[in-house]
Amino acid sequence: MHLTVIAFAAASIALAGPVLAQAAYAPAGAQFEARFDRPLDSKMIRDGDRFTLTEDRTTFAGAPPALRHARVEGHVERVSPARKDHRATVNLILDDIVLADGTTAPLDATVTWVRERAPSHKLRETGVVITGTVTGRKDAKKPGMAQGTPVGPGAGVSLRARDPKEQIHLTRGAVLRLKLLEPITTVG
């Protein structure tokens, strides 16, 4: 009888497969700042254009250590340049975060503020208003998949120009503060 129970338990464990450990790099609620690696202008960009942000500790030291030198990958959607009767708008969709060791994980975060670097290297207000969070589509990056194939939701933020006649223009080095909605984990 005992031998049968032990054999059944061993078979159940073998059928379940290996247990995958999750490594937690940053908890939900953690905040960090990241700067644009290139300019973003609502008059020049198109839906689907990609952008990257690099973690920046020059003004905010409260970021989790695992995020040091991390790179955020994302794309833009619903780009609408300023027109006579319409303010410029852009949705920034945050797809993934690439940690300094090369680990890539999905990123579920929101943007709490956007600032520009002034010539004095201090942060200042931009001509951009965060109008809400959005859900976009992550673009396929895997070999063999058509570019732009939706592979799941990406979290992001909708930006609108303060001035109805101005485009949204974020310079290289403009800083976003991001707050994690879900922990950054990887399965390995």
Average pLDDT of adjacent 10-residue blocks, the chain of 188 residues: 47 48 81 93 93 85 88 92 87 91 90 71 48 47 42 59 81 89 78
**Could you write out the DSSP letters of every residue in 55-82?**
E--SS---S-GGGTT-EEEEEEEEEE--
Are 53 and 72 in contact by the 8 Å Cβ rule? The answer is: yes
Predicted pLDDT of residue 5: 45
Residue with tokens 């200042």: 124
The domain over range 23-187 is classified in CATH as 1.10.3470: no
Predicted pLDDT of residue 145: 39
DSSP, collapsed to helix, strand or coil, labels residue 158 as strand
Distance CA 119, CA 153 (A): 37
**What sign for the dihedral angle of Cα 47, 52, 56, 60?**
positive
Maximum Cα–Cα distance across the chain: 83
Distance CA 180, CA 44 (A): 29
